[in-house]
A and B are shown apart, each in its own frame.
Chain A
Amino acid sequence: MAKMTLRIWILIISLFLALLMISPTFKNGVVIKNIDKDSNAFQSGLGQGMLIKEINSIKINSLEDYSLVTSEFYKDNKEKRISIITDKDSFIFLDYNLSSIVVGNLPKSNIKTGLDLSGGARALVRPVNGTLSDDQMSDLVDLTNQRLNVFGLTDLTVKSSKDLSGNNFLLVEVAGASPQDLKELVSKQGNFQAKIGNNTVFIGGEKDITHVFRDASQSAVYTAESLGDGTYLSRFTFTITLSAQAAQRHADITNVIPLDPTSGGQYLSENLTLVLDGQIVDELRISSGLKGQVTTQISIQGSGTGTTPDLAMSDARAQMHKLQTLLLTGSIPYQLEIVKLDTISPSLGKQFTKSLITLGLTVFLIISIILFIKYRKIKITLAVILTMFSEALITLGLAALLRWNLDAASIAGIIAGIGTGINDQIIIIDGSRSKDNSGIKEKIKNALFIVFGAFFTIVAAMLPLFWAGAGLLRGFAFTTIIGVTVGILITRPAFADMIRKIGEQ
């Protein structure tokens, strides 16, 4: 057995570290992705990221198990004792059900796959008028993040990016199921105003609205009624709490409005108009009892429509949910425009992933066979295969460490990186076997000149992709550059040593 050189040791250690980064797991269970901070579950100590193993002594191995157990909770409307055992500790609390917790399957490794492989939605948004400063962009990222979180989306990334000519973009990616409302949620300014005549009583956002009720006691969607033309209308209502200042404003404004004589003095002569982004959501009559009152609780109403009563009600539910979200998070001070919107089917993504793995293995096999046919030496072939495998693994490890989303183009980058790796290895093998009189060290030195040259050209060639096209193709450049860098720093030196050892034997 050949003596292990330092470079080969470095390779082995890197492989070990890469495996650690990827940390494939064979554990089963569901992981808590989001938990309502007001819930009893949260008070009892349960938290995000915990792995649920048992609920009320029933083992939980998958999402199916979880939904089977939790669906039982909805059968009666009673408070019950729920005991949950997680990887950290066990927790016991009282609640009606587990609606306060959002769970997901435990990821099999730290490798994150991009939208085109995992399914989901992506929106690229651009400010309509000119560009925004870095501070404004980061405000926009925060606001959008908050809005989507309030809406209930957890598995998402929101980031700003710039292209080569300095245009700002906001990139929103939601993994898994793609929400119908993403388009409106990210592009609507959400400028909410409640007006009486020309006076604004309150606006959306926490300055005026201290709380938006979203539980069943203070929010509701009513049974749809037929409009006669084949469509149905369903109304919704929910309560909000106004800040003291907004409540005082309400009192001051209503105080000077006369009663409406046509309603027999039951209502004021002007209505409360709810306006969202310049469009009237609803118009409410103000009962005379509220005149001049400092009212902190106000009920907001609106409606949804549909061609069947069910569709109308689900539309109403969706509208209510959206309005609640916008009221809670306030408006975005910039006019935005959606320039790209992709929704990728998770099942198509699954097929893509399967095909990519098949392709990877096929290419691996073909290369191994060709190399063996060419060199007829099992040791050399094995050295190349080991190097190929190491490059792929270390690149994946780095991608996992950097939380990089691997999309289809990134995987093409990994394969291309390995491809240049193969080229380099062929150059080293042929270089070391060339017939000239220089020693093997000199030959490998000459080969490494070519290898470094090839490295710098591919890095130089891929670099512009980091900025071009709003960064959507960054993954392709990223994995290629990481792959060839791993090659040049870790695997190539080790491979050269292996070939030297094989050559000396």
Chain B
Amino acid sequence: MVRTSDFQSDGRGSIPLWRINKMEQHTNQENKKHWYDKNYKILLFIPVTLLIFSLIYLSSFYSQNNDFIYKDSSLSGGTTITLRAELDIVALENHIKQSVENVNIRTISDISTGKQIAVLIDSSAEPDVLKPLVESFIGYELTTENSSIEFSGPSLGANFYKQLIIAVIISFVLMSLVIFFLFKTFIPSIAVIFAAFSNIVMTLAVVDFFGIRLSAAGIAAFLMLIGYSVDTDILLTSRVLRRRGESINSRISGAFKTGIFMTSTGLLAVIPAFLIVTGLPESFRQIFLILGIGLSADIINTWLTNASIIKWYAEYKKL
């Protein structure tokens, strides 16, 4: 690479124009940093407000539904029929509702053409009840060629749900232990764990808000979210605690540049599963959906929550 000489005359004495621009930029950055130094504690209010809001929403959701999520039939017990067909789902729903109260019908369509690919029928009824109802509507038999039928007994569903909730808790505890082991200091570790906790709560609130019925795979995605989303927190904390040569702000902004790029690649990798590629298995889509929502929440929780706490800590400890 050819380097421009520092002493090249460029009109304004001996300072080249690109350096002046850079200097102006630098002053702007200084101002920004100044702004950040003044306001980082206030910034912490944004995620905390969101978290409290999510918690309030979840508790009212709980009091209404007696549960923290809407469960699909793999967790509440029941049948899911995936039928490869194009049909009027409102009419189908009315038809089934004459005999079975609890039924939920969705379509899987091709995003580019809008064409229906398949119909998902989810109900608490047993296959022996649901199958003839669907057959009488479509006018032909459901075979293993044209449809998939998944049935979970109610006792198993309840058991699965309980198990997965326990798994989420164990997962969270194990992750916390690893974080404590890594950083061996209390407040920075708590900051990471708190950010991970906020991620879960906010993601759950969004999932509930949109009325998404979670499957077993969907809950499993929360475990992955716990492990995946702390990547950026570990990056931030380790840069702030370990790279002592620079100012705290430049440590944070360096981590931010890397971390936000990490999260955006993650998000961009998740998006095609919804916008470009269709006909993916439902379990798969749900895993990606939870990760997508979770990664978005992670941007807030890492760069507002965790960053503010760790800056506060580093300044207090004069690191």
| A interface footprint on B277-298 (CB within 8 Å = 1, 0 otherwise) | 1111101100110010000000
Assess the B171–A460 pair: CB atoms within 8 A.
yes
Could you give 26 example pairs across A and B, Cβ below 8 Å? A124-B156, A338-B153, A341-B127, A341-B149, A343-B148, A345-B147, A348-B84, A358-B277, A366-B268, A366-B269, A408-B217, A412-B287, A413-B224, A416-B228, A422-B269, A430-B257, A436-B245, A449-B238, A450-B235, A454-B231, A456-B182, A457-B226, A464-B167, A465-B167, A465-B220, A473-B216
Does B211 lie at the interface of the complex (its beta carbon under 8 Å from any beta carbon of A)? no
The interface residues of chain A lying within 8 Å CB-to-CB of B231 are: 420, 423, 454, 457
Assess the B261–A116 pair: CB atoms within 8 A.
no
Assess the A352–B281 pair: CB atoms within 8 A.
yes
Assess the B262–A359 pair: CB atoms within 8 A.
no
Does B27 lie at the interface of the complex (its beta carbon under 8 Å from any beta carbon of A)? no
Assess the A427–B258 pair: CB atoms within 8 A.
yes
In the assembled complex, the Cα of A446 lies from the Cα of B198 at a distance in Å of 27
The interface residues of chain A lying within 8 Å CB-to-CB of B283 are: 116, 408-409, 412
Assess the B234–A457 pair: CB atoms within 8 A.
yes
Does B243 lie at the interface of the complex (its beta carbon under 8 Å from any beta carbon of A)? yes
- Tell me which residues from 234 to 291 in chain B have a Cβ below 8 Å from any Cβ of chain A: 234-235, 238, 242-243, 245-246, 254, 257-258, 261-262, 264-266, 268-269, 272-273, 276-281, 283-284, 287-288, 291
A5-13, A134-142, A163-171, A286-294: which lies at the interface: A163-171
Does A502 lie at the interface of the complex (its beta carbon under 8 Å from any beta carbon of B)? no
The interface residues of chain A lying within 8 Å CB-to-CB of B149 are: 341-343
- In this complex, how many residues of chain B approach chain A with their Cβ under 8 Å: the count is 78
Assess the B265–A461 pair: CB atoms within 8 A.
no
Assess the A348–B223 pair: CB atoms within 8 A.
no
Does A340 lie at the interface of the complex (its beta carbon under 8 Å from any beta carbon of B)? yes
Q: Which A residue's beta carbon lies closest to that of B172?
A: A461
In the assembled complex, the Cα of A167 lies from the Cα of B160 at a distance in Å of 11
Does B163 lie at the interface of the complex (its beta carbon under 8 Å from any beta carbon of A)? yes
Known interface pairs A409-B217, A422-B265, A468-B164. Does A456 touch B178 (Cβ–Cβ under 8 Å)?
yes
Does B319 lie at the interface of the complex (its beta carbon under 8 Å from any beta carbon of A)? no
The interface residues of chain A lying within 8 Å CB-to-CB of B152 are: 339-340
Contact-residue bracket for chain A: 35 or more
Does A374 lie at the interface of the complex (its beta carbon under 8 Å from any beta carbon of B)? yes
Q: Which A residue's beta carbon lies closest to that of B183?
A: A453
Assess the B228–A420 pair: CB atoms within 8 A.
yes
Contact with B269, one of A367, A431, A453 (Cβ below 8 angstroms): A367
- Tell me which residues from 435 to 492 in chain A have a Cβ below 8 Å from any Cβ of chain B: 436-438, 446, 449-450, 453-454, 456-465, 467-470, 472-473, 476-477, 480
Does B177 lie at the interface of the complex (its beta carbon under 8 Å from any beta carbon of A)? yes
Assess the B276–A461 pair: CB atoms within 8 A.
no
In the assembled complex, the Cα of A158 lies from the Cα of B261 at a distance in Å of 45
Known interface pairs A343-B149, A468-B164. Does A355 touch B226 (Cβ–Cβ under 8 Å)?
no
The interface residues of chain B lying within 8 Å CB-to-CB of A363 are: 269, 272
The interface residues of chain A lying within 8 Å CB-to-CB of B232 are: 423
B143 to chain A, nearest CB (A): 8
The interface residues of chain A lying within 8 Å CB-to-CB of B127 are: 341
Residue from the set B177, B226, B258, B287 with the largest chain A CB neighbour count within 10 Å:
B258
In the assembled complex, the Cα of A470 lies from the Cα of B220 at a distance in Å of 13
B286 to chain A, nearest CB (A): 9
Contact with A342, one of B150, B216, B245, B280 (Cβ below 8 angstroms): B150
Assess the A461–B150 pair: CB atoms within 8 A.
no
The interface residues of chain A lying within 8 Å CB-to-CB of B148 are: 342-345, 348
The interface residues of chain A lying within 8 Å CB-to-CB of B220 are: 409, 465, 469, 473, 476-477
Binding site for B on A (CB under 8 A): 116-117, 119, 124, 126, 163-165, 167, 177-178, 337-348, 351-352, 354-356, 358-359, 362-363, 366-367, 370-371, 374, 408-409, 411-413, 415-416, 419-420, 422-423, 426-427, 430-431, 434, 436-438, 446, 449-450, 453-454, 456-465, 467-470, 472-473, 476-477, 480
Assess the A446–B151 pair: CB atoms within 8 A.
no
The interface residues of chain A lying within 8 Å CB-to-CB of B217 are: 408-409, 412, 473, 476
Q: Which B residue's beta carbon lies closest to that of A122?
A: B150
In the assembled complex, the Cα of A358 lies from the Cα of B276 at a distance in Å of 9
Residue from the set B144, B146, B278, B291 with the largest chain A CB neighbour count within 10 Å:
B144
Contact with B243, one of A124, A338, A446 (Cβ below 8 angstroms): A446
The interface residues of chain A lying within 8 Å CB-to-CB of B204 are: none
Known interface pairs A370-B268, A419-B228. Does A464 touch B278 (Cβ–Cβ under 8 Å)?
no
Does B155 lie at the interface of the complex (its beta carbon under 8 Å from any beta carbon of A)? yes
